[in-house]
Amino acid sequence: MPAFFNEIEPIRFEGPETTNPLAFRHYDAERQVLGKPLKDHLRFAVCYWHNFCWNGADVFGDGTFDRPWHQGTDAMALAHQKMDVAFDFFQKLGAPFWTFHDYDIAPEGADIRASRNNLAEMIDRAEAKQAETGVKLLWGTAKNFGNKRYMAGAATNPDPEVFAYAASQVQQALEATHRLGGANYVLWGGREGYETLLNTDLRQEQEQLGRFLKMVVEYKHKLGFKGALLIEPKPQEPTKHQYDYDSATVFGFLQKHGLEREIKVNIEVNHATLAGHTFQHELATASALGILGSVDANRGDYQNGWDTDQFPNSVEDMTLACYEIIKAGGFNTGGFNFDTKLRRTSIAADDLFHAHIGAMDTMALAYIKAAELYEGRVLSNFVEARYAGWQSELGRKILGGDMDLAATAKYAVDNSIDPQPVSSRQEMLENRVNRVLYG
């Protein structure tokens, strides 16, 4: 293993009273919650791109991170070094899963064949590292947005050759995910949108995107990949308006193309808030539509209008999100992937550990509190009582189609009904949540 994290010991659970900053206070992986270990509920994953590919640069300044695998001219040798460091980190952190884009782990070559050969070599390496460490793949994906060829989209590009190039990447990335035992494959439409309608045929682009997704679904079944296909919604950035705006938009698109039973969503916190929603809303919407797949756990900055990808640190916010996941039956193939990055000024090697430890503790405590809300029926008893009328004969007949509009109106008149407002008790319920959170 490389020397980069040699001074860091494996991170252990030491409990709430510990003063050790490099220890878990709340994430006890083996703690039984709702009948199984906490690790099996949370299914934590560490992303490859922000942690090991990004050098700390932004649009206003150069990179700030001193990473040896960013320095040198032999791109493949650096890729191997980077992967050694990454798996050393995964193992010491105790994260059971990781996630990657194709060109996170392998550099693009001089042409398409060289790029595919580079990725094939690094997939061999990743397979060996997984076997060595026991770390598994939560999901893989293709980076169909970074290269300038994708400046006007990938599947939605005006040029069908760009569409074909994107297809070649997705084919290989899906094959790699299948080979590495990935639980999911994610499709993020980073450039699938438009800047202006002055030069855009919106109907044409959406038809192209629908065809691309159908091709991916067909290839998944041909390949025998048993994992879930996931779309990651985002409203804008890098494009002004993206076609996968939020979970409801994605579902409508899938339904139009007959794919609503083939593809689910990977919901990111910061993307939800950029769309004007809460994370809890997006989870509840996806669950109600039957497309909840996995989660990118992070947070945004409410004073910034872009995707800041900060580590989650609010137990209160995440408790209500975890409550929706528990109500939905928990994760199947999904998990909590930390699509998160350090701040540019956090340049010490151990900052990566501090950031992930805090995020994992936040999510663990939130899940424990959410389980308490769920088991104690703190909210569900009230909600069931509030909608109990729909279990009456009238409610069942209306929803069951036994009463049309005229029959329903006749019922109202014949029975001289005079329904009165009933309090929603919002403040009382907020107090109940706070008692679970804070005692």
Which residues are known catalytic residues? 101, 104
CA 353 remoteness from chain centre: 21
Q: Determine the Cα–Cα distance for residues 339 and 97; give it in Å rounded to an integer.
A: 13
Question: Encoding tokens for residue 434?
Answer: 């706070």
Separation between Cα atoms, residue 320 and residue 349, nearest integer Å: 33
DSSP H or E segment with residue 265:
strand 263-268
- Within its chain, how far is the Cα of 314 from the centroid? 17
Query: CA end-to-end span of the chain, whole Å?
Result: 45
Helix, strand, coil tally for the chain in percent (to 5): 50, 10, 40
> Which residues lie closer than 8 Å to 403 by C-beta, 6 or more apart?
397, 411
The values of phi and psi at residue 72, to 5°, are 145, 175
**Nearest by Cα to 273 from 295, 301, 296:** 301
Residue in 299, 310, 294, 271 with CA at minimum distance from that of residue 139: 294
Instruction: State the alpha helices, DSSP H only, in 4-111.
Output: 38-42, 48, 75-93, 102-105
Angle at CA of residue 310, ends 102 and 99, nearest 5°: 25
Is the Cβ–Cβ distance between 131 and 118 less than 8 Å? no
Tell me the C-alpha distance between 370 and 433, whole Å: 9
Q: What is the DSSP string of 280-303?
A: HHHHHHHHHHT-EEEEE--B--TT
Distance (Å, whole) CA 339 – CA 311 = 8
* Single-letter amino acid code for the residue at 154: A
The DSSP H or E segment spanning 363 is helix 351-375
